[in-house]
Structure 1
Amino acid sequence: MQQNNSFDKVYFEHRIMVFNLALHYVLNVEDAEEITQDVFIKVYESMEKFNQNSSLKTWIYRITVNKSLDYIKHKNSKKRFYIFGKKSSSEKEYLNTASYEHPAALLENKEKSAILFEAINTLPDNQKTAFLLSKLEGLGNAEVAQIMEINIGAVESLQFRAKKTLRNNLGQKFEEYRRKK
């Protein structure tokens, strides 16, 4: 019963953080919910093994990042078999979620948000993780380094490369977007 009470506390303190981070990776509510469930199953099964070398929050972030990346890889490997098939309509569902913008946002803002998150999703996994954790989750470089199990200099380098890539890609995307109007 003791483990159950402590798990409940962990779940209620971290469920929104886990869901939001997963949503940043997969941009789909159902997929983010599935990842959130997988994360907390892993947390529940591993709580007794948690060695406390890092904070509980950092440990849960690490599990969420790994589960999100695994989910994307698994989903992408499935897509290869359906390369000529129709894409799921739910993949653009993030355009309608309140997590990214105010519900009264204009269509133009939704289109710009879609372009931004599309560009973020093209980053290599390590750059994407460093960028999401620092810029969207608001974590400091030391905490990002701990979650990613790399040094702070590597985090700064990943963030720099991610921003440079995004700047280039977004410049091209927004130029195309402006020409369409």
Structure 2
Amino acid sequence: MYKLTLSVLLAFLPFAPAIATINSNGDVFTPEEGLDLSRSFEAQRGAIVKALADGETYSEIASQDTRIVMSSLERISDLLDGAQNVEQLPEETKVQVFNEQERINSLLIPAYADSRVICRRHKPTGSNRPTNICLTVAERRRARDGAENFFRYNPRAAGPVIDR
């Protein structure tokens, strides 16, 4: 069993850097860090649009938030029109670009964290066969909150109270 697990891990090792970052034209966009305007904006914009479309990287982002991110990317693109970097822009435009960048990062970074899939082995009651249960962080949170609310608002569901 140990050798099988080790061989599977070693087989996927060459793909680990491709999974950890999205590489686009030499500039790396990392979803956990968000948009960084010290690097090429157009390359990062392409990587963000691709990540939003793949349905996995930002699977927990709301459609309204996706529209906000896309419109903010468009505004930054318009503000950077003709400039090689942010330092060449007037102060007022720099502030607008910074605000759009923060809006994007405030939506993308938590959505990426909530979209992370976690798999756990679970052995159902009455069975000797464990199964894998894979859920995103947000799905786990919703399930936990739903169970807490169920027992909070349905006190009899906890079971009978036995006086001794």
| TM-score of the aligned structures, taking structure 2 as reference length | 0.28
TM-score when scaled to structure 1? 0.26
Higher RCO (C-alpha under 8 Å, 6+ residues apart): 1
